[in-house]
Amino acid sequence: MSRVGKQPVVLPEGVKGSVQGQIVSVEGPKGKLQCKVPMGVAVQVADGKVTVSIKGTDLQSKADYGTARAHINNMAQGVSKGWKRALELNGVGFVAKHQGTNLVLSVGFSHDVTLAIPSEIKCVITKNIVELESVNKEVLGTFAAKMRDVQPPEPYLGKGIKYTDEIVRRKAGKTGKK
């Protein structure tokens, strides 16, 4: 049985949770989020705590149990504090710009790469750092990964798009002839 799933999710101050059938809703100062819980998982809200339990005895229910609890915990933290992710553009001429609801990246290709920013994400660009903020951790992480995949950091020159807390191991280049 999941050790993560056994622990109740303590809702931060100012956050309310509710369950209607298989849909769990969490509302806080930063917004409101919902998620659908798998059929083999039961969720109860009481005394500012969300408790997750297993309904079925099959393996899939046991697998979904801890995952459902983690999603609910991420939702509770998102509506209270929010989630942040920052990416850094390293390279000569690497630039990020806003164009309406799109993020335009100039990262060494013959063309600019345009990414549609989801409506749930706030994007702030300062010099070569793009800061993303959202209440939904899943949407934020997916968009940040899409942005990084445009030009991942390479180990020889260190050029590319990387997370600010990511460490890129550099490799030695070729040695000259003697």
**Per-residue b or e along 106-118, where b marks 16 or more CB atoms closer than 10 Å to that residue's CB:** ebeeeeeeeeebe
Contact call for residues 69 and 51 (beta carbons, < 8 A): no
pLDDT of res. 126: 94
Residue 124: CB atoms within 10 A of its CB come to 11
pLDDT band at residue 63 under the 50/70/90 scheme: confident
Model pTM score? 0.89
Domain 3-80: CATH architecture, name and number where available: Alpha-Beta Complex (3.90)
- pLDDT: is 174 or 85 the higher one? 85
Q: Sign of dihedral through CA atoms 76, 78, 82, 87?
A: positive
The distance from CA 22 to its chain's CA centroid, rounded to whole angstroms, is 23
Task: Examine the pLDDT at 51 and tell me if it is beyond 80.
Answer: yes
Q: How does pLDDT run across 126-171, given as a tens digit for each residue?
A: 999 999 999 999 999 999 999 999 999 999 988 999 999 999 999 9
Q: Give the gyration radius of the chain's Cα atoms.
A: 21
Q: How does pLDDT run across 9-46, given as a tens digit for each residue?
A: 999 999 999 999 999 999 999 999 999 999 989 999 99
The owner of tokens 């509302």 is 27
Sequence-ordered list of residues with C-beta below 8 angstroms from that of 147, at least 6 positions apart, any chain = 87, 103, 105, 115, 130, 161
The percent of residues in the chain predicted with pLDDT above 90, rounded, is 80
Domain ranges of the chain: 3-80, 83-163
Task: Indicate the CATH number of 83-163 among 3.30.450.20, 3.90.930.12, 3.30.110.60, 3.90.79.10.
Answer: 3.90.930.12
